[in-house]
A = this chain, B = another copy of it.
């Protein structure tokens, strides 16, 4: 597998790994998303001071309002985060 195919496979594996915790394997519940964010982005919610952060992220991700985050919603979130990281690296490289 190429580097890009491997990266895509890893994103699918992460989603499936957390989505299978409760009954519905096709979507992330709020508890599953919280667990995913805590383990995959340990610095993202690290401060612990903002108790509403996970609620806000979940509400933003759950585009169709069904209280579940499906794969499409998740992959767009990862794409947006990757875009932010790329911009950050680009700005730092330009300094």
Task: Give complex CA distance A85, B3 in Å.
Answer: 16
Q: How many residues of A contact B (CB 8 A)?
A: 34
Copies in the complex: 2
Contact with B along A28-53 (1 / 0, CB 8 A): 00000000100111100000000000
Partner of A86, one of B39, B42, B71: B71
Instruction: Flag if B78 contacts A76 (CB, 8 Å).
Output: no
Most buried by B among A41, A75, A89: A75
Q: Choose from B11, B71, B76 the contact partner of A4 (Cβ within 8 Å).
A: B11
Q: Show the binding face of A for B, using Cβ within 8 Å.
A: 2-15, 26, 36, 39-42, 71-72, 75-76, 78-79, 81-83, 85-87, 89-90
